[in-house]
Chain A
Amino acid sequence: MFSIDKVSMSYRSGVFFSGKRHSVLSDISFQWTPGECLGIIGESGSGKSTLGKLLLGIQKPDSGTILWNGKAVTDHKNRRGSISAVFQDYTSSINPFYTVEKALLEPLLHIGASGKPPYPVLDSLLEQVGLDSSCRGKYPHELSGGEAQRVCIARALSTKPQCILFDEAISSLDGSVQMQILELLKELSSTEKMGFIFITHDIGAAAYLCSRLIIMQDGTIREIVHTDQLKSVETSYAKKLLNSVIL
Chain B
Amino acid sequence: MKLLSIMRRDKWAAVCFTFLSAVIAAGIFAPWFAPHPPEEVHMELRFAGASWTYWLGNDHLGRCVLSRLIYGIRPSVLWVLAALSASVAIGAFAGFAAGYFRGKTDVLLMRLCDVMLSFPGYVMTLAVIGIMGPGLEHILIAFVLMKWAWFARIIRTSVLQYSNSDYVRFSKMLGLPGVSIMIRHLLPVTLPDILVVSSSSFGSMILQISGFSFLGLGIQAPNAEWGMMLNEARSVMFSKPELMLAPGIAIVLVVSAVNFLSDSFQRMLDPRLMSSRPIRLKQGFSISTRLKEREVA
Q: Are B173 and A95 in contact (CB under 8 A)?
A: no
Interface string of B128-170 (1 = CB under 8 A from A): 0000000000000000000000000000000000000111011
From A15, which residue of chain B is reached at the shortest CB distance?
Answer: B107
Q: Are B287 and A57 in contact (CB under 8 A)?
A: no
Interface size on A, residues (CB 8 A): 42
Q: Are B167 and A85 in contact (CB under 8 A)?
A: no
Interface string of A118-157 (1 = CB under 8 A from B): 0110010000000001101111111000000000000100
Q: Which of A21-29, A72-80, A177-185 contacts B (4 or more CB under 8 A)?
A: A72-80
A142 to B281, CA, bound (A): 19
A9 to B171, CA, bound (A): 23
Interface string of A142-177 (1 = CB under 8 A from B): 100000000000010000000000000000000000
Query: Is A99 on the interface with B (CB-CB < 8 A)?
Result: yes
Query: Provided the pairs A93-B170, A94-B167, A106-B171 are in contact, do residues A137 and B283 lie with their beta carbons within 8 angstroms?
Result: no
List of B residues within 8 angstroms of A204 by Cβ? none
Query: Is A83 on the interface with B (CB-CB < 8 A)?
Result: yes
Query: Provided the pairs A80-B175, A93-B167, A96-B271 are in contact, do residues A138 and B188 lie with their beta carbons within 8 angstroms?
Result: no
A240 to B175, CA, bound (A): 40
From B184, which residue of chain A is reached at the shortest CB distance?
Answer: A95
A137 to B275, CA, bound (A): 9
Q: Are B166 and A95 in contact (CB under 8 A)?
A: no
Contact of B279 among A58, A137, A142 (CB under 8 A): A137
Query: Is B176 on the interface with A (CB-CB < 8 A)?
Result: yes
Contact of B175 among A79, A99, A117, A138 (CB under 8 A): A79
Query: Is B4 on the interface with A (CB-CB < 8 A)?
Result: no
A134 to B123, CA, bound (A): 59
From A56, which residue of chain B is reached at the shortest CB distance?
Answer: B173
Q: Are A142 and B166 in contact (CB under 8 A)?
A: no
A58 to B174, CA, bound (A): 9
Query: Is A92 on the interface with B (CB-CB < 8 A)?
Result: yes
List of A residues within 8 angstroms of B166 by Cβ? 87-89, 92-93
From B271, which residue of chain A is reached at the shortest CB distance?
Answer: A96
Query: Is A84 on the interface with B (CB-CB < 8 A)?
Result: yes
Most buried by A among B173, B185, B287: B173
Interface string of B203-231 (1 = CB under 8 A from A): 00000000000000000000000000000
Query: How far apart are A87's CB and chain B's nearest CB, in angstroms?
Result: 4
A88 to B169, CA, bound (A): 11
From B280, which residue of chain A is reached at the shortest CB distance?
Answer: A137
List of B residues within 8 angstroms of A99 by Cβ? 276
Query: How far apart are A18's CB and chain B's nearest CB, in angstroms?
Result: 12
From A12, which residue of chain B is reached at the shortest CB distance?
Answer: B103
Query: Can you name 26 A-B pairs with beta carbons within 8 Å?
Result: A56-B173, A57-B173, A58-B173, A79-B175, A80-B174, A85-B169, A85-B170, A88-B166, A89-B165, A89-B166, A93-B170, A95-B167, A96-B189, A97-B274, A99-B276, A103-B167, A106-B171, A116-B287, A134-B279, A136-B279, A137-B286, A138-B276, A139-B274, A141-B272, A142-B275, A142-B276
Residues of B within 8 A of A (CB): 107, 165-167, 169-176, 184-185, 188-189, 271-272, 274-279, 281, 283, 286-287
- Interchain residue pairs A-B with the least CB separation, the first 5: A76-B175, A96-B271, A87-B166, A92-B165, A93-B166
Other CB < 8 Å A-B pairs besides A84-B173, A95-B185, A137-B279, 16 of them? A16-B107, A56-B169, A56-B173, A58-B173, A76-B174, A80-B174, A93-B165, A93-B166, A93-B167, A103-B167, A107-B174, A123-B281, A133-B279, A136-B279, A137-B278, A139-B275
